Amino acid sequence: MRPTLTRLSKSLLPSLREAPKDAQLPSHALSIRAGLIRQVGAGLYELLPMGRKVLRHIETIVREELDAEGAQEILMPGVLPAEYLRESGRWESFGDVLCRFKDRKGADLALSPTHEEIVTDIARRELRSYRQLPVMLYQVQTKFRDEPRPRGGLLRGREFIMKDAYSFDVDEAAALQSYERMRKAYTRIFTRLGLDFRVVDADSGAMGGSRSAEFQILARSGEDKLVTCSACAYAANAEVATSGTAEASAAASATAATAATGPGSIPAMTRVATPGVTDMQSAIAALGEGHTLDNALKTLVVEHQGKPVALVLRGDHELNLVKLSTVLGAPVALASRERVQALVGANPGSIGPVNFPGRVIVDPQAAALAHTSCGANETDAHLVHVVYGRDYEGEITDIRMVEAGDPCPRCGASLSEHRGIEGGHIFVLGTHYSKKMSAHFTDENGEELPFVMGCYGIGMTRLIAAIIEQHHDAAGIRWPASVAPFDVVLVPISKRAESEEVVTALSESLREQGLSVLIDDRNERPGVKFKDAELFGIPLRVTLGDRGLEAGQAEVTERRSGETTAVALGDAAAHLKRMHLGLMQGLE
RNA sequence: CGGGGUGUAGCACAGCCUGGUAGUGCGCAAGCUUUGGGAGCUUGAAGUCGGGGGUUCGAAUCCCUCCACCCCGACCA
């Protein structure tokens, strides 16, 4: 296929000098200003020609890498009959995220938020023997999730385009191999896209996944918090990250408890009146000298199976709800203040683990406090000289949010925090769906076994935004050469008679070199063309003006560095090809 | 779901408090001049002032209501 040649004067590439005020993130503002997208509704966008081209280039890279791993592309419907989702239980469990509706016959349908059920149905109908496995199927398709809060343009839409892949294997070991193949393919994909990313340990969710990793694109505007180790390869989503402190302090807590029960140590637990105290800060103040956030207990309450559960943390630490949900085996949220009052019978500011009327879960670092204070489970009262093991007990489990500076759980070096955009997520699902949906194959012993599945997603439209987040400057986008909508933009600004011929000849030579070309043939002043070329972010710009043409030269400007060089017209195409090859270094 | 905010021309906004013929800049169309970093002058087109209801002689403006969109939060007792 010949590379494209587009004349700007005949194209729908609407650039805007100002961004709509709604667009706050650089990627959002630039994708509108550069004419990639327009908003249709909350979380709904059109891709205009420039945006579509970039998506096409991302798709090509994704397809090349997946096909290279033997994955096969399919296309599943965007509308799902409810029966499939009822089989897996997700018709209910998706909640409001699932957009449900009825057809003319009154049958329940949903806009597909993902496709595990349908692809599992393909497997159970079409795959029968272990001889057919492994199988990896994927599609590039529109998803709809009625997100509570879409934001940032393409970063979190309600409708978005996703590449989703699904693997079917004979057993867990084979599934892990498929998972590892995808991990490598994803690494190549994200590298080719020019992204600075980290592969991090991630929550595999309540859906029975045994292993998962996220491909996180580093960006200030990222919605996810990550921690990475400065010394070793440890990297994790903060939702699941642990720190070396957890193990160390579990040991310390045992020691502290022993020491405290010995003679002549900490005084007996004492009740103190704390009128009007409703939070940690005021409790510390009321207790007076020697009491600080980091030597007091903070006790939060969740309601689980109708009963209160106390969560005990060090006062200055933060609860990790994802870890807690894993411990409890179900998603939970903190009980409201009113609910706490009803369940425990005390103001939420005066809750504590001592004689708590329910299950008590203690973070190791809270248990490690040798001598501490807490609420008395009685409004306006607290306890001091509280010791774990002597005055209260509980299940010691890590439920704390890791912080920057904590020791790495693998090597002990300091952890640092980043923010990331989740660009991809890979899971080993196991037999969760295949069991529920009776998707079986026959193994070599003639036995019927459920497929061991994996699933692998990439947020295709989100990647457009993520790439811009990482590749822009004050003037506009700076596309990595691998995904740029065009390779070269030709900017004729000469009125000379030969200009049109030069433009035509040069653009033909560029196409022969395999480069796609955008010609800015608008009747605009040079400044306007330069500004737009920079806004569009096309990697290479060729300026054809009187200055150069008189000397038989073109001026070549690299978008990323801003460097300009003069090149003889006859050599220009070859020169640009070489520059383009240089820009593609590391992106193939 | 909770809180905050915004809806006036394609985009950015003023006008609203204190009711009286709907404005500015950019963009768009035409003309002349201009032409290496978002040109100048002239002329012109373009708005159900988010929708509905109410008050009033009269509503973009005041009141009620609905809708849409944006931001923050949804975890500290």
Q: Is A208 found in the same domain as A264? A: no
A250 and A234 together in one domain: no
Instruction: Name the protein residue, with chain letter, whose CA is nearest the C1' of B73.
Output: A149
C-alpha–C-alpha distance, residues A271 and A264, integer Å: 20
Confidence of residue A261 (pLDDT cuts 50, 70, 90): low
Q: For residue A249, what pLDDT band results from cuts at 50, 70 and 90?
A: low
Instruction: Calculate the angstrom distance between C1' of B11 and CA of A89.
Output: 47
pLDDT beyond 90 at A368: no
pLDDT at A428: 93
Q: Does A344 reside within a domain? A: yes
Task: Write down the ipTM of this complex.
Answer: 0.92
Nearest nt (C1') from A555 Cα: B36
Distance between CA A571 and CA A573 in Å, rounded? 6
User: From CA A173, how far away is CA A176, in angstroms rounded?
Assistant: 5
Going by pLDDT thresholds of 50, 70 and 90, the confidence category of residue A331 is confident
The verdict on A161 and A272 lying in the same domain is: no
Which of A471, A438, A493, A582 lies closest to A537 in space, CA to CA? A471
Q: Assess contact for A155 and A221: CB atoms under 8 A.
A: yes
**Residue A118 pLDDT grade (very low, low, confident, very high; cuts 50, 70, 90):** very high
What is the structure's pLDDT at A357? 86
Nucleotide nearest to A22 in CA–C1' terms: B70
Q: What CATH number did the domain enclosing A424 receive? A: 3.30.930.10
Q: How far is the CA of A421 from the C1' of B72 (A)?
A: 19
User: Tens of pLDDT along A448-481?
Assistant: 999 999 999 999 999 999 999 999 999 999 999 9
Structural domain including A300 reads 245-396
**Residue A4 — pLDDT band, cuts 50, 70, 90?**
confident
Query: What would the pLDDT profile of A38-78 be if each residue is shown by its tens digit?
Result: 998 889 999 999 999 999 999 999 999 999 999 999 999 99
CATH code of residue A308:
3.90.960.10
Amino acid A264: pLDDT: 56
Confidence of residue A379 (pLDDT cuts 50, 70, 90): confident
Nucleotides in chain B near protein beta carbons (<7 Å): 1, 11-13, 25-27, 34-39, 68-77
> CA-to-C1' distance for A309 and B55, Å?
56
Give, for A276, the enclosing helix (H) or strand (E): none
Mean pLDDT of A413-426: 92
Closest nucleotide C1' to the C-alpha of A42: B69
What band does A258 get if pLDDT is binned at 50, 70 and 90?
A: low
DSSP H or E stretch at residue A414: none
pLDDT at A251: 59
What pLDDT does residue A62 have? 98
**Residue A66 CB: number of other CB atoms within 10 A?**
24
Residue A1: band (very low, low, confident or very high) from pLDDT cuts 50, 70, 90: low
- Alpha-carbon distance of A54 to A48, in angstroms, equals 10
Kindly tell me the sign of the dihedral angle through the C-alpha atoms of A171, A173, A174, A175: positive
Asked whether the beta carbons of A330 and A364 are under 8 A apart, the reply is no
- In this predicted structure, what is the pLDDT of residue A158? 93
- As a rounded value in angstroms, the CA-to-C1' distance for A36 and B6 is 25
* Structural domain contains residue A32: no
For the ranges A173-177, A235-239, A255-259, A402-406, the lowest mean pLDDT is seen at A255-259
The spacing between the Cα labelled CA in A528 and the C1' in B37, in angstroms, equals: 7
Which of A98-102, A243-247, A400-404, A575-579 tops mean pLDDT? A575-579
**Confidence at A245, pLDDT banded by 50, 70, 90:** low
Helix (H, G, I), strand (E, B) or coil at A454: strand
- Whether the per-residue pLDDT at A190 is higher than 90: the answer is yes
CATH of the domain at A547: 3.40.50.800
Question: Distance in angstroms, CA of A263 to C1' of B7?
Answer: 72
3-state SS class at A75: coil
Please state, in angstroms and as integers, the Cα–Cα distance from residue A249 to each residue in A212, A318, A368, A370, following that order: 27, 16, 6, 11
One domain for residues A61 and A201: yes
Same-domain check for residues A68 and A170? yes
Question: Confidence band (pLDDT; 50, 70, 90) for A308?
Answer: confident
Question: What band does A204 get if pLDDT is binned at 50, 70 and 90?
Answer: confident
What is the rounded (10 degree) CA torsion for A230, A233, A238, A239? -170
Residue A396: its pLDDT value, please?
87
pLDDT greater than 90 at residue A341: no
DSSP character for A267?
P
Closest-CA residue to A375 (of A393, A345, A354, A402): A354
- The confidence band for A440, taking pLDDT boundaries of 50, 70 and 90, is very high
**pLDDT of A208:** 56
**Do A115 and A84 meet the contact criterion of CB atoms below 8 Å apart?**
no
Whether A206 and A67 map to the same domain: the answer is: yes
Three-class DSSP labels, A340-407: HHHHHCCCHHHCCCCCCCCEEEECHHHHCCCCEEEECCCCCEEEEEECECCCECCEECCCECCCCCCE
Instruction: Say how many C-beta atoms besides its own lie within 10 A of residue A277's C-beta.
Output: 22
pLDDT of A583:
98
Residue A28 placed within a domain = no
A207 band by pLDDT with thresholds 50, 70 and 90: low
Residue A478 falls inside a structural domain = no
Same domain, A312 and A382: yes
- Name, in order, each residue with C-beta under 8 angstroms of A106's C-beta and a sequence gap of 6 or more: none
Q: With left for phi above 0 and alpha for psi between -120 and 50, is residue A419 left, alpha or beta?
A: beta
Structural element, H or E, at residue A171: none
Structural domains in chain A (count): 3
User: Rounded to whole angstroms, how far apart are CA atoms A183 and A202?
Assistant: 13
SS3 (DSSP) at A203: coil
Q: What is the mean pLDDT of chain A?
A: 90
Q: Range with the lowest mean pLDDT among A37-51, A113-127, A369-383, A414-428?
A: A369-383
Specify if A440 maps to a domain. Answer: yes
Report the DSSP beta bridge partners of residue A167.
A136, A454
Domain-located, residue A302: yes
> Higher model confidence: residue A50 or residue A291?
A50
Tokens coding A487: 């390779």
Distance A539 CA to B40 C1' (A): 33
Together in a domain, A157 and A284:
no
Residue nearest to nucleotide B75 (CA to C1'): A319
pLDDT of A343 above 70 = yes
Q: Which nucleotide is nearest to A16 (CA to C1')?
A: B11
Three-state SS at A525 = coil
Which are the contacts of A313, defined by CB distance < 8 A and separation ≥ 6? A297, A298, A299, A300, A319, A363, A365, A366, A399, A400
Q: Clarify whether residues A449 and A545 are in a common domain.
A: no
Cis peptide before A134 (omega within 30 of 0): yes
Let me know: does A161 contact A143? Beta carbons within 8 Å: yes
In a domain, A73, yes or no: yes
Question: Nearest nt (C1') to A20 (CA)?
Answer: B11
Nearest one of A167, A202, A258 to A452, comparing CA atoms: A167
- CA distance to A473, A484, A485, A588, per residue, from A559 (Å): 10, 11, 13, 20
Please name the amino acid found at residue A223.
E
β-partners of residue A439 are none
pLDDT exceeds 80 at position A511: yes
pLDDT of residue A241: 87
Query: How many C-beta atoms surround the C-beta of residue A341 within 10 A?
Result: 16
Separation of alpha carbons A6 and A18, rounded Å: 25
Residue A25 lies in a domain: no
Question: Which of A211, A119, A109, A216 minimizes the C-alpha distance to A165?
Answer: A119
Give distance CA A523 / C1' B43 (Å): 21
Would you state the pLDDT for residue A165?
A: 97
Nucleotide nearest to A40 (CA to C1'): B69
Note whether A281 and A383 are same-domain residues.
Answer: yes
Rounded percentage of chain A residues whose pLDDT exceeds 90:
58
3-state secondary structure of A562: coil
Yes or no: say if A576 and A510 are a contact pair by the CB < 8 Å rule: yes
Residue A64's pLDDT is: 98
Per-residue pLDDT band at A155 (split at 50, 70, 90):
very high
Helix (H, G, I), strand (E, B) or coil at A283: helix
- Residue A178 near residue A468 (C-beta atoms within 8 A): no
Residues A232 and A276 both lie in one domain? no
A436 lies in the same domain as A551:
no
Ramachandran category for residue A42: left, alpha or beta (phi over 0 → left; psi -120 to 50 → alpha): beta
C-alpha of A190 from chain center: 13
The predicted pLDDT at position A406 comes to: 87
Q: Which of these ranges, A284-293, A334-343, A551-560, has the smallest mean pLDDT?
A: A334-343
